[in-house]
Amino acid sequence: MAGMTSPARSTSRERTTRWTAPVRYAETDQQGVVFNAHYLTYCDEALAAFCIERGLGAFAEDVMLKSSTLTWAAGVRHGDRVDVDASCERVGRTSLLMRFVISVEGAICCEVDTTYVYAPDGEPMEVPHAARAVLV
């Protein structure tokens, strides 16, 4: 769909926002790796950073999770720093597909594809044009 990509934001580099944080001790479990649920918390923060960088601070609070697929490649340990690269893959009428690539020192640990529905009042609404222009 033509409206889904913004010619002004043409390179992969520009389309991505990185959120980064050291792994917290409390996030590891007794196997010594980050417990699986925390990856969704990292993505949540990465979405917020992605939106703030595009001047869409409130947008992150106006979307609801519809579905999320996580694929793990390697465990993450205390002492590691996780980098989460967030990008918007697609914007539909009322939804958007975000991709989060979680890595440690360049090695991918987990990839997450999440579909959000824009629902500022709890009901799906059309994604505003202003947002659409800067998301992808």
Residues that bind its own copies (CB under 8 A): 21-22, 24-26, 28-32, 35-41, 44-45, 48, 61, 64-72, 78
Q: Sign of dihedral through CA atoms 125, 37, 21, 17?
A: negative
Residue with Cβ nearer its own copies (5 or 113): 113
CA dist., res. 18 & res. 12, Å (int): 12
Q: Sign of dihedral through CA atoms 48, 46, 98, 29?
A: negative
| Least Å from the CB of residue 70 to its own copies | 5
Residue with Cβ nearer its own copies (6 or 94): 94
Residue with Cβ nearer its own copies (32 or 106): 32
| Least Å from the CB of residue 11 to its own copies | 27
Residue with Cβ nearer its own copies (44 or 89): 44
Among 16, 33, 18, smallest CA distance to 103 is for 18
| Least Å from the CB of residue 68 to its own copies | 5
CA dist., res. 76 & res. 22, Å (int): 10
